[in-house]
């Protein structure tokens, strides 16, 4: 009689049923979904922010975002304030140096505006309005600088087929004339 001992086979589950692989696959899928949904969330946030600033309508056709290269492209941004003309930005493309964010610096390497018209105006109190959006006045006191140590740098601004109109309201003062 042949007494060969057969080693018992280990019954490990197939690779696709292993717990570590399922967890890794779920994490990869979740990250991919978040990256895919980010441009939609950004477009919705931009529309919501414009409406919070007083726009009666705001629409964005498309946003392309690449977090790895720092590129952002906004296509067909349209908004209108109730008391102003409709604003249209056909395409805005920007490249952000992502590494500089770790040093609390917003470093925009290039900002390109294509086929758009931008209205700049300064009111009698010196407040700047760009494309119907009023920029907040800043104070340069020491407490503000310590609370907000972020820096901002813009290397290149490209206006391609873009028109800019500038207006400044003059403060007219009249003195009482003697009669």
Q: pLDDT per residue over 46-74, tens digit each?
A: 999 999 988 899 999 999 999 889 999 99
The strand pair at 128-130 and 133-134 is best described as antiparallel
Lookup result for tokens 């770790």: 102
Mean pLDDT of 108-137: 84
Mean pLDDT of 15-36: 88
The burial class, CB within 10 Å (0-12 / 13-18 / 19+), for 132 is buried
> Where is average pLDDT lowest: 14-18, 28-32, 67-71, 169-173?
169-173
Q: pTM higher than 0.75 for the full model? A: no
Stated length of the chain = 179
């Amino acid at each position: 009689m042949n007494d060969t001992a057969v080693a018992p086979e280990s019954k490990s589950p197939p690779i696709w049923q292993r717990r570590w692989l399922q967890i890794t696959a779920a994490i990869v899928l979740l990250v991919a979904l978040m990256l895919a949904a980010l441009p939609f969330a950004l477009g919705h946030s931009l529309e919501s922010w414009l409406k919070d600033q007083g726009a009666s309508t705001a629409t964005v056709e498309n946003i392309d975002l690449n977090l790895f290269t720092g590129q952002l492209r906004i296509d067909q941004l349209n908004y209108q304030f109730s008391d102003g003309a409709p604003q249209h930005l056909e395409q805005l493309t920007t490249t952000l140096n992502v590494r500089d964010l770790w040093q609390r610096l917003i470093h925009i390497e290039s900002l390109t505006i294509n086929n758009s018209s931008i209205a700049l105006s300064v009111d009698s109190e010196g407040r700047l309005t760009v494309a119907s959006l009023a920029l907040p006045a800043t104070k340069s006191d020491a407490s503000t600088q310590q609370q907000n140590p972020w820096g901002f740098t813009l290397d290149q601004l490209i206006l391609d087929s873009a028109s800019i109109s500038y207006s400044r309201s003059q403060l007219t003062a009249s003195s009482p004339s003697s009669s």
